[in-house]
């Protein structure tokens, strides 16, 4: 049996991790039998991050998981794609996973009011005094990571202008195409729609959710992909 390790529900979402949701979509799309196990204990995770997969061996990282599933199913994910679909899909995937993602994380962890939700959903089950200490240590690490990534060096106003450009690029693409890589559903939609779902469906809205939710074509796209695959990030 294949086991997918993911984060537990949080922030009003069934699956708050875009990378975990993407892996879940791929497994479901391929109609593979699998079970999900949720954990917040990432210190002992194979690469310190979720998701990871146990399929007679451990595969950690959503992109590596998709590559593994593709070869396991003889090209079930990438096999039918044109070179242009792969190129466009990869470029948009990098945009959302290596740029937009960091603002989604920062809007949850580094906003003073929203950090209360992170504490409630991720750390409330810890015993005293860990409940007090662990969130502060985790948040300091998150701040350092955001700073090293580079976005964390900018003012919030400047970060909003970066978000604006990412959203404009996605809107431009998705007003002229039903899916991100072409006019049909591909593996790249699992990456992009999962990321947008994670960004949009936070309850209450973060500053990133508020911006994204203004764009009806993004909402329609996320809904279309989730419906087609039958896997939803929201509850
Ligand atoms: N490149 C990785 C990214 C995974 C990732 O960043 N996962 C987040 C949850 S959305 C995580 O586990 N973060 C914990 C940490 O960085 O300490 C993938 O595609 O799987």
Per-residue pLDDT of the chain (235 residues; tens, 9 = 90+): 999 999 999 999 999 999 999 999 999 999 999 999 999 999 999 999 999 999 999 999 999 999 999 999 999 999 999 999 999 999 999 999 999 999 999 999 999 999 999 999 999 999 999 999 999 999 999 999 999 999 999 999 999 999 999 999 999 999 999 999 999 999 999 999 999 999 999 999 999 999 999 999 999 999 999 999 999 999 9
CA distances from 221 to 15, 122, 194, 204 (A): 18, 29, 11, 21
108 alpha carbon, distance to own chain's centre: 13
pTM metric for this prediction? 0.98
Q: Which CATH class is domain 1-80?
A: alpha beta
Average pLDDT, the chain: 98
Taking a C-beta distance cutoff of 8 angstroms, is the pair 232, 14 a contact?
yes
Nearest to 71 by CA among 84, 57, 88: 57
Angle of the 18-29 helix axis to the 187-200 helix axis, nearest 10: 140
pLDDT digits (tens, 9 = 90+) for 35-58: 999 999 999 999 999 999 999 999
Q: Is the CB of 129 under 6 A from ligand 1?
A: no
How many C-beta atoms surround the C-beta of residue 152 within 10 A? 16
Taking a C-beta distance cutoff of 8 angstroms, is the pair 39, 208 a contact?
no
Dist CA 205 CA 108 (whole Å): 9
Residue 50 Cα: closest atom of ligand 1 = 12
| First-to-last C-alpha distance (Å) of the chain | 26
pLDDT of amino acid 42: 95
Q: Is the CB of 60 under 6 A from ligand 1?
A: no
pLDDT of amino acid 179: 98
pLDDT of amino acid 145: 98
pLDDT of amino acid 177: 97
Q: Is the CB of 19 under 6 A from ligand 1?
A: yes
Give the residue extent of every domain in the chain. 1-80, 82-230
Look up residue 222 and give its two tokens: 């996320």
Phi-psi region of 185 (alpha: psi -120 to 50; beta: other; left: phi over 0): beta
pLDDT of amino acid 4: 98
Which residue, by CA, sits nearest to atom 11 of ligand 1?
49
Taking a C-beta distance cutoff of 8 angstroms, is the pair 151, 159 a contact?
yes
Q: Which CATH class is domain 82-230?
A: mainly alpha
How many C-beta atoms surround the C-beta of residue 17 within 10 A? 22
């Amino acid at each position: 049996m294949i086991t997918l390790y993911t984060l537990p529900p949080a922030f009003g979402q069934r699956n708050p991790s875009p990378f975990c949701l993407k892996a879940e979509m791929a497994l479901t799309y391929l109609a593979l039998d699998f079970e999900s196990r949720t954990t917040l204990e990432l210190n002992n995770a194979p690469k310190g991050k979720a998701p990871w997969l146990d399929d007679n061996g451990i595969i950690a990282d959503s992109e590596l998981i998709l590559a593994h599933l593709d070869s396991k199913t003889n090209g079930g994910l990438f096999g039918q794609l044109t070179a242009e679909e792969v190129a466009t899909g990869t470029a948009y995937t990098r945009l959302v996973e290596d740029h937009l993602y960091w603002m989604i994380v920062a809007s949850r962890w580094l906003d003073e009011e929203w950090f209360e939700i992170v504490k409630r959903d991720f750390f409330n089950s810890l015993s005293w005094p860990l409940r007090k200490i662990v969130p502060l240590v985790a948040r300091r690490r998150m701040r350092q990571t955001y700073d090293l990534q580079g976005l964390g060096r900018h003012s919030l106003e400047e970060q909003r202008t970066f978000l604006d450009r990412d959203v404009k690029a996605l809107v431009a693409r998705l007003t002229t195409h039903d899916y991100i890589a072409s006019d049909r559903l591909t593996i790249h939609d699992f990456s992009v729609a999962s990321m947008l779902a994670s960004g949009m469906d936070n309850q209450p809205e973060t500053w990133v959710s508020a911006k994204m939710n203004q764009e009806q074509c993004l909402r329609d796209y996320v809904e279309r992909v989730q419906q087609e695959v039958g896997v939803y990030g929201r509850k």
